[in-house]
Amino acid sequence: MDFNLPEELIELKKSVREFVGNELLPIQQQVEKEDKIPDEVLKKMASLGYFGFPFPEKYGGVEIGYLGYCLALEELGRANAAYSNIIGAHTSIGSSSIYYGGNEAQKQKYLIPLAEGKKLAAFGLTEPGAGSDAAGIRTTAYKKGDHYYINGQKIWITNGPYADVVVVYASTDKTLGPKGVSAFIVEKNFPGFVVGKTDEKMGLKGSHTCTLYFEDCEVPEENRIGPEGTGFYTAMKTLDGGRITLAAGAVGAAQALLDLSVKHATERVQFGKPIGANQAIQWMLADMEVEIHAARLMTYHAAWKLDNGQRVSHEAAMVKVYASEMANRVADKALQIHGGLGYMQEYSIERAYRDARILRIYEGTSEVQRMIIAEDLLKAVRKD
């Protein structure tokens, strides 16, 4: 068992770290205040292949696998959460739906420009009455001639306000439940596609969500991903990868908070000595280090299994629930260590504290992940 990373992935991690330090960290407060990532920064990220890390080169990707992709997202997690959020929605779940379920023509037409960062993707699954219960979606699609017509709405869609392509999940046969769900590639200019107002959120400034409306939205038959009724399977397979990569961003964000906390603990003097000399602070730092290390190893292992073609639903659920909750605990300790400074908006601690909270909710709440894990355990017992 070799825990050493391949040299090419070490170089990748180093290059992304340098980009984050040179390009992203200097503007982190600007992004927070303006609620916008400068267009030139996103274009530079696209030119460097950041929007197609895991995909094969023949589809416009960098072909570094999910382990390499996680290493990159871990480094991006050190900056505003908006960056890894935009790329995660675009790559991990939006474009990946096409990669996993799409045919060759769809990959040529859509995946290549998406992986090259020339177009932006979104993932349309969540609805007002179907968040954790993804199988209960009410958006419908009926076929007439050589087109499908989609009706319904999707909420809190990351990249929704400006996505060029949205993979939309809709029921083509409501009597079949999840087996009646189909997936469709919807372009923003298709008739009946309406973008709602941008949501106002607690955190994630610079990454935007909105409600998408479908009013007899006209979609060509060739834009259906896979046969009818296979959409739910595609969504679940896609979310496995999404949960692992989300964990990678959480690890990076937590590591950045620990680094700041260690620095602060050595520089902040109270009662004639650095606060890091106090056991209370030392124990918080130690707990942060232990949890980050555990989450990192869990993330790398799950990504390695995915790269080797193994089933990862169980590992994806475990790493998602652990890393997301770990990031929240680390953020809380970091703010406590920084005291009043951590509560001030001009410092990154307060922002990271707010950004971390969504991790326990999107791409499957902590409660849903525990349900998945427990169900797997109980199934194993029943088989015995």
Tokens of 317: 């659920």
In sequence order, what DSSP letters do the residues of 82-105 get, joined into one string?
A: HHHHHHIIIIIIIIHHHHHH--HH
Q: For residue 324, what are the CA distances in angstroms to 181, 298, 328, 360?
A: 29, 12, 7, 5
How far apart are the C-alpha atoms of 272 and 56, rounded to whole Å? 57
CB distance 145 to 137 below 8 Å:
no
Mode of pairing for the β-strands spanning 165-171 and 181-187: antiparallel
Instruction: Identify the DSSP state of 35.
Output: T
How far apart are the C-alpha atoms of 120 and 303, rounded to whole Å? 24
Cα-Cα-Cα-Cα torsion 238, 249, 110, 148, nearest 10 degrees, comes to: 50
How far apart are the C-alpha atoms of 185 and 193, rounded to whole Å? 12
How far apart are the C-alpha atoms of 188 and 309, rounded to whole Å? 33
231-267 vs 348-356: helix crossing angle, rounded to 10: 150
With b for 16 or more beta-carbon neighbours within 10 A and e for fewer, the 70-84 pattern comes to: bbbbbbbbbbbbbbb
Active-site residue numbers? 363
